[in-house]
Chain A
Amino acid sequence: MFGLEITPVIAAITVSHYLIVGAILFVIGAVCMATKRNALGILMGIELVLNGANINFIAFGSPYLRDDNLGLDGQLISLFVIVLAAAEAAVALAIALNFYNNHNTIDIDRADELKG
C-alpha cells in the first residue's frame, strides 16, 4: 500500500537528495543573514549556512549512499565545523551583548558610527 504507491515517486535516496536539502538550507541561511535586522537573527542565518554545508560533508562521507565515499573524513570535517560554529556563536553573542550594552538595541542598522 504505502510502499507501493511511494516507490515510483521517489527512487532510492542518493547523495544528490542530501545535497539539495543542504543547498536549500544554505540559501535560506544566506537570505536570513541579508534580511534580518536583529543581530541574533543574523547569527541564526550563519548557523543555518554552516548546517547546510555540514549536510554535504555527511552525505559525501556516508557509506550508505555511495561506495566511493569520503569515509570518515566527511564526518571529521563536519565535527570541526560544529565545534567552530559553537566557538563562533560564543564570540558573536559576546559582541551582540556588548553592542546591546553600548547602543541599548540589537538592531544592526543602528551600528553606523563608522559611516563618517
Chain B
Amino acid sequence: MGILAAVNRVYWHEFFFMLFAGISVVFAVCVLLTQNIVRMAFYLVLSLGSTAGLFFLAGAEFVGAMQLMIYVGGTLVLLIFGVMLTAQQRYVKMNTHPTDWVLATIVGGSLLVLLIGAAAGVDSWKDASASKKALAELDVDDARTATPLGLALTGVRVDKLDSDDPALANGQSGYLLPFIIVSVHLLVVLIGAAYMARTKRSATAPVGRAERARLNIMQMEHETDDVVYSASKQSSSSLLDSDQSQAEESTDEAQE
C-alpha cells in the first residue's frame, strides 16, 4: 500500500489521451491501407469513435455525444452504401496504382512535417503549467456546456458577457444567423439528396445499366407468367423504396 499511496495522483488524463489518440491514429492508418471498402468503413467508425473520446477528455461532452450520434451514425450510412454497392464481389477491392502511392506519400509527408512543425512551434500551446493548473481544478460535474451551447445557438452568449470588446460584451456574439443558415442548408440538402437519389421510373428518362437489366428481367418474367411478374415487380419496387428511404434517412439524421 505504501507504493500505491506514493503515486496518489495517477495520470489518467495522459493515459486516456494516449489511448484515444493511439486508437484514432492507428485505425485512420488502417483506413488508408486497407482496400476493402467495408473494412475501411469499420476502421473509420473506430477512429471517429475514439476521437469522440478525445472530445470528452477535452471537456466537450456535448460535442462528443454529437460526434457519436451524427458523425459515427452518418458513417453507418456510408457502411450501408458500401455493403450495398459491393454486394457483387468485384467492387470490394480496388487497388491503387503505385505511382499514386508515391506521389501521395511525398505530398502527405511534407504536409505532415509542416503541420506538426506549426503545432509544436508556438510556445504558449506547449505551456504545460497552464494545463496542469486547469487539471488540478478539474471537476467533471462542472462541465455544463450543453445549456450555454444551446443559448449561444439562439444568439445569447452567457459566457462572453465580461468581454472587453463592447460589441461582443453586449451578448451580440451569438450564433443565431449561422444556425439559421445551417438549418436552411440542411433543408436544401435533404431535398437535393432525395431528388438525386430517387429512382427514375419513367420510360423516357435515361435509365442506368443496372436499372435496365432489372427491367429486362421483369419483362422476361412478364412474358412467361403474369403472376410471377406481379410478384417480382412488387419485390423490386420495395427494394427501390428501401434504397430511397435510406438516402432520405441519412439526411434526416443530419437534421437531428
Q: Which residue of B lies closest to A21 (CB)?
A: B21
Q: Which residue of A lies closest to B134 (CB)?
A: A64
Q: Are B44 and A14 in contact (CB under 8 A)?
A: no
Give the interface SS of chain B, mostly helix, strand, loop or mixed.
helix
Q: Are B37 and A40 in contact (CB under 8 A)?
A: yes
Task: Tell whether A31 pairs with B32 under 8 Å between CB atoms, given A6-B11, A94-B197.
Answer: yes
Task: Tell whether A11 pairs with B77 under 8 Å between CB atoms, given A47-B71, A90-B250.
Answer: no
Task: Tell whether A35 pairs with B193 under 8 Å between CB atoms, given A44-B78, A71-B160, A89-B77.
Answer: no
Contacts of B197 in A (CB 8 A): 93-94, 97-98
Q: Size class of B's contact patch?
A: 35 or more
- CB contacts under 8 Å to B, within A30-68, are 30-32, 34-38, 40-41, 43-44, 47-48, 51, 54-55, 58-59, 61-68
Q: Are B7 and A96 in contact (CB under 8 A)?
A: no
Q: How far is the CB of A21 from chain B (nearest CB, A)?
A: 5
Q: Are B81 and A97 in contact (CB under 8 A)?
A: yes
CA distance A85 to B77 in the complex (A): 13
CA distance A101 to B27 in the complex (A): 31
Q: Are B11 and A20 in contact (CB under 8 A)?
A: no
Contact of B31 among A2, A44, A75 (CB under 8 A): A44
Task: Tell whether A15 pairs with B125 under 8 Å between CB atoms, given A3-B11, A20-B119, A41-B40.
Answer: yes
Q: Are A93 and B250 in contact (CB under 8 A)?
A: yes
Q: How far is the CB of B188 from chain A (nearest CB, A)?
A: 9
Contacts of A41 in B (CB 8 A): 37, 40, 94
- CB contacts under 8 Å to A, within B41-73, are 41, 44, 47-48, 51, 54-55, 58-60, 62-63, 66-67, 70-71
Most chain B beta-carbon contacts within 10 A, residue among A40, A61, A103:
A40
Say yes or no for A10: interface residue by CB 8 A criterion. yes
Q: Which residue of B lies closest to A101 (CB)?
A: B208
What 7 additional pairs, Cβ within 8 angstroms, besides A25-B28, A41-B40? A6-B11, A23-B116, A30-B107, A38-B40, A83-B182, A93-B78, A94-B196
Instruction: Sample 28 A-B pairs with CB under 8 A, ordered by A number.
Output: A3-B7, A6-B11, A11-B128, A14-B128, A18-B58, A19-B125, A21-B54, A25-B47, A31-B104, A36-B94, A40-B81, A48-B47, A51-B47, A58-B60, A62-B58, A62-B59, A63-B134, A65-B130, A80-B178, A83-B254, A84-B182, A84-B185, A87-B185, A90-B77, A94-B192, A94-B196, A96-B81, A107-B94
Interface residue ranges, A against B (CB under 8 Å) = 1-4, 6-7, 10-32, 34-38, 40-41, 43-44, 47-48, 51, 54-55, 58-59, 61-68, 71-72, 74-76, 78-80, 82-87, 89-91, 93-98, 100-107
Top 10 A-B pairs ranked by shortest CB distance?
Answer: A101-B208, A86-B254, A19-B119, A23-B115, A62-B58, A94-B196, A3-B7, A31-B108, A34-B104, A87-B189
